Chain A
Amino acid sequence: MAWAGKILRVDLTKGTVTPEPLKMDWARDYVGSRGLGSKYLVEEVDAKVDPLSPQNKLIWATGPLTGTMASTGGRYTVITKGPLTGAIACSNSGGYWGAELKMAGWDMIIFEGKSPKPVYLYINDDTAELRDAGHLWGQSVWYTEEALKKAHQDPLLRISSIGQAGENQVLFAAVVNDLHRAAGRSGVGAVAGSKNLKAIAVRGTKGVGNIRDPKAFMQVTFEKKKILHDNAVTGQGLPTYGTQVLMNVINEMGALPTRNHKDVQFEGAKDISAEAMATPRKTDGKKHLVTNQACFGCTIACGRISKMDEGHFTIENKPQYRGANGGLEYEAAWALGAANGVNDLEALQYANLLCNEYGMDPISFGATVGAVMELYEMGVLKKEQLGIEAPFGSAKALAHFAEITARGEGFGKEIGQGSKRLTAKYGHPDLSMSVKGQEFPAYDGRGIQGIGLAYATSNRGACHLRGYTVASEVLGIPVKTDPLESEGKPELVKAFQDATAAFDSSGLCIFTTFAWSLPDLAPQLQAACDDAYTVEELSKIGERIWNMEREFNNRAGMTPKDDQLPKRLLTEAAKTGPAKGKVNELAKMLPKYYEVRGWDKEGRPTAETKKRLGL
């Protein structure tokens, strides 16, 4: 129960849209969203396909708790074989779109093939049809949302779409919904672009009704919301400061990667922090931060709504960027700021807005710019080819690159390939701060040992959201571990990865885990779906999902070499701060990690492990 029990299969080559029943045995074993969508992908797609070919599939999936009153129950995921990494890709987004799809009566949409011309999918409850998107091609996410609402005379329509970055197959293009919420990472937007799929517009009026025990569900979700409310992080820190609350914290502990990871502390961190966003600007006396905002069903409300300084050089004569708009989250502020040595908060927000408008991942974009700036300072890249002088710290260069990357203009085409391909092309592959081709997020593996291992082993390439050991190593949630110690981290990383997979598959937001753990999730799923979802069962499901994703990557040809960190993190010690002198001790952790996972030395799940997990 709580699943709609129906999915849509869209054959873009033939132009057909066909409803089919959800495979309920898979739903029970993989829950929903990330787990269930990935199950469909690995069963239906050959792991060796070219991610941008018609043979790849692209899945939008909700979880059983999506569209319910469980706090944060608005999430959906986009699942495919990722073009940036060649690994399984699964990107998660909030906003309102996921709940709308569920309320229209669908758990999931599977796109296959390639449309001969640009199309969008229009869903109004049971009605679902492909429509011509020729007039939207070449347009931004923001334009597309407005145009579709007008065309359908429906201001309540919810839209998940790609912008120019996806169309131009920027390898880190995002899928964006509700103007500024994104399934941001791994290039899921590029796969949509390769299929000539512009958008999915949904209106759902049927609602989510088949809760197993409605009374128990209302009771338990009410109790769990109280826990979020009373918790210092989810009840105060996140609503007040957003994820940006971390900027100064991580900088002080010497784990804020700076200037393409050359440094671990950024002298300009305070200028781009949550505190800076909440302090009146010197220029116009106004605060950058306007208010916080929730996604569907979320009682945390960490989202930022900001207003730029109207006099800033980036938006002269650009009134469209002057109103309130989606603001900087920590990862974006880091990638656009510290990673490039840029401390101009307004320039960061401008680049962030362009990432939303054009549909592109600010983490991979910002980190790739970091690599470009390093190559520029080394003399490898020249002003003539970049179109601008691009030393570390240049806000002008950041803004310029944000403008040209999604549109595929000039050197922007090369940035759009991501740092791995770009640095390799110019003879310095070691300068790509990535794993499996996906750029690091905002924590340095030298100052936080466990997160280094989590990056190395993440199934979608470097990612903080697949095993956020920062919670333990920095914030002490659920227990404090020493960030500089690698001992014990393989077990910690595994525990975080498995629990995260279970949360991601429920339809809830991973940010709840600052206050909740599996014993808080289990009763909500039990009341909504099935008594079988005990804590033990959810742990096992999480581990099953992890191993299923891993096996897909192994079949795609990945080996332990793809579980490596860049040389810089393994050989160049942190220069300052509490982690001074430290490198990441991956060589110590990785073999142990394989062991605790029940994998062989080549990183393959053993027959016994697979049997235990029902794979």
Chain B
Amino acid sequence: MQKVLHINADKCTGCLQCEMACSFENYGIFATAKSRIKVFDFHHTGKKVPYTCTQCDEAWCLHACPVEAITVDKATGAKVVNDSTCVGCKVCTIACPFGTINYVQETGKVQKCDLCGGDPACATACPTGAITFIDANWTGLGRMEAWADKLGNQPSAA
């Protein structure tokens, strides 16, 4: 079963535990600036929205890479940057429609979410369930259930 990161922005409080978990997993430090998942704080509405790579099947970043530095992790479906191959040309950052692959000045390479090899640290760290790691085929299950509940558990008119 392939799993994906599923984001429910309504549950996000903006605590940034996910960003710290990401930087700790990948760099061994707490540095939100190095996180591959970002939480955006829309002050005028009060909404906080985590955002990261959705691991497109036909990934623009992968196809755009001239040196084939981005490959598919067969176990997880994640598109993974191989640092030893990446030349830092940044073409993938232009190709990605979502902005979720980014250049890192310090290393001269790009970085993106790789699902932590199948156990994403951000989802584990999220205290509210705003970020979960679930069956890719059933990301809508929770929402369907909520509506099914509304439909099926109404007091009957008869």
A residues contacting B by CB (< 8 A) are 67-69, 71, 96, 99, 103, 156, 179, 203-209, 214, 218, 225, 229, 239, 290-299, 301, 305, 307, 323-325
Residue of B13, B47, B48 with most partner-chain A CB within 10 A: B13
Q: How far is the CA of A479 from the CA of B29 in the complex (A)?
A: 38
Please determine whether B28 and A214 come into contact, CB atoms closer than 8 angstroms: yes
Please determine whether A297 and B16 come into contact, CB atoms closer than 8 angstroms: yes
Query: With A214-B28, A294-B13 as given contacts, are A204 and B33 in contact (CB-CB < 8 Å)?
Result: yes
- Closest partner residue, chain A, to B42 (CB atom): A324
A367 to chain B, nearest CB (A): 29
B residues contacting A by CB (< 8 A) are 13-17, 20-21, 23-24, 27-34, 43-48, 125, 127-128
Please determine whether A207 and B34 come into contact, CB atoms closer than 8 angstroms: yes
Q: How far is the CA of A225 from the CA of B13 in the complex (A)?
A: 15
Q: How far is the CA of A239 from the CA of B127 in the complex (A)?
A: 12
B93 to chain A, nearest CB (A): 18
What are 18 inter-chain pairs, A to B, with CB distance below 8 A?
Answer: A69-B21, A103-B31, A103-B33, A203-B33, A204-B33, A207-B33, A207-B34, A208-B30, A209-B29, A214-B24, A229-B127, A290-B46, A291-B46, A293-B13, A293-B48, A294-B14, A296-B16, A323-B44
Q: How far is the CA of A145 from the CA of B32 in the complex (A)?
A: 20
Please determine whether A324 and B15 come into contact, CB atoms closer than 8 angstroms: no
Q: Which residues of B are found within 8 Å of A68, using beta-carbon distances?
A: 20, 30
B22 to chain A, nearest CB (A): 11
Q: How far is the CA of A305 from the CA of B43 in the complex (A)?
A: 9
Q: How far is the CA of A239 from the CA of B14 in the complex (A)?
A: 13
Q: Which residues of A are found within 8 Å of B21, using beta-carbon distances?
A: 69
A216 to chain B, nearest CB (A): 13
Query: With A207-B30, A225-B127 as given contacts, are A297 and B46 in contact (CB-CB < 8 Å)?
Result: no
Query: With A208-B29, A208-B30, A209-B29 as given contacts, are A294 and B15 in contact (CB-CB < 8 Å)?
Result: yes
Q: Which residues of B are found within 8 Å of A291, using beta-carbon distances?
A: 46-47
Residue of A71, A207, A293, A301 with most partner-chain B CB within 10 A: A207
Please determine whether A209 and B33 come into contact, CB atoms closer than 8 angstroms: no
B49 to chain A, nearest CB (A): 12
Q: How far is the CA of A307 from the CA of B125 in the complex (A)?
A: 30
B33 to chain A, nearest CB (A): 4
Q: Which residues of B are found within 8 Å of A239, using beta-carbon distances?
A: 13
Please determine whether A103 and B32 come into contact, CB atoms closer than 8 angstroms: yes
Please determine whether A179 and B43 come into contact, CB atoms closer than 8 angstroms: yes
A68 to chain B, nearest CB (A): 5
Please determine whether B31 and A205 come into contact, CB atoms closer than 8 angstroms: yes
Please determine whether B20 and A69 come into contact, CB atoms closer than 8 angstroms: yes
A322 to chain B, nearest CB (A): 9
Contacts A103-B32, A293-B13 known; 4 new A-B pairs at CB < 8 A? A96-B16, A205-B33, A214-B24, A298-B13
Q: How far is the CA of A301 from the CA of B16 in the complex (A)?
A: 11
A428 to chain B, nearest CB (A): 43
Among A209, A214, A299, contact of B17 (Cβ-Cβ < 8 Å): A299
Query: With A205-B33, A209-B30, A324-B44 as given contacts, are A293 and B14 in contact (CB-CB < 8 Å)?
Result: yes
Please determine whether B46 and A67 come into contact, CB atoms closer than 8 angstroms: no
Q: Which residues of B are found within 8 Å of A324, using beta-carbon distances?
A: 43-46
Residue of A204, A214, A293 with most partner-chain B CB within 10 A: A293
Please determine whether B33 and A299 come into contact, CB atoms closer than 8 angstroms: no
A251 to chain B, nearest CB (A): 28
Please determine whether B45 and A323 come into contact, CB atoms closer than 8 angstroms: yes
Q: How far is the CA of A272 from the CA of B24 in the complex (A)?
A: 42
Please determine whether B15 and A323 come into contact, CB atoms closer than 8 angstroms: no
Q: How far is the CA of A203 from the CA of B33 in the complex (A)?
A: 9
Q: Which residues of A are found within 8 Å of B44, using beta-carbon distances?
A: 323-324
Q: Which residues of A are found within 8 Å of B32, using beta-carbon distances?
A: 99, 103, 207
B102 to chain A, nearest CB (A): 13
B23 to chain A, nearest CB (A): 6
Q: Which residues of B are found within 8 Å of A214, using beta-carbon distances?
A: 24, 28
